Amino acid sequence: MPCYNLVVMNSDEYRLRYDALLGRVSQRLPNFIAAVASKETDTLIFHHDAFAADLQNEELALLGAAIKFAGHHGKAIIVNGRCGETVKDDVLRSPSQA
C-alpha cells in the first residue's frame, strides 16, 4: 500500500508539474541537468552531504526533486558517504554521537 495518495491528472496538468520540477532543478543545479542529459552513464553518484548536510528542509526538497528528475530521464542515483563527513566535528554531530 503506497504511503501517498495518487493524484489522477491529465497530460496538461502533468506537463505543468514536470515544467515546475525542471525549473526548480535547473535553476539550482545546472550541472546536474547536464549530467542527466549525458549519454555516457546511466548512474549518478552523490555524496551524502551534497544536499542538506545540516538538514535544511529546502535542500532536502531539492534532493527529492533531483532524484525524481533523474528517474524521469532513466538515470539511477546512488547516495554515497556518511553523514557529516564534509562538515567539521564541532559543527555537526549525529544524535547518536552526542
Which DSSP string corresponds to 34-96? HHHH-SS-SEEEEEGGGTTTT--HHHHHHHHHHHHHHHHTT-EEEEES-TTTTS-TTT---GG
* Nine-digit cell string for 89: 566535528
pLDDT at 66: 92
pLDDT at 40: 92
Under the banding of pLDDT at 50, 70 and 90, the label for residue 75 is very high
Residue type (1 letter), 74 = G
Under the banding of pLDDT at 50, 70 and 90, the label for residue 59 is confident
Q: What percent of the chain has pLDDT over 70?
A: 74
Contact predicate 43/75, CB 8 Å: yes
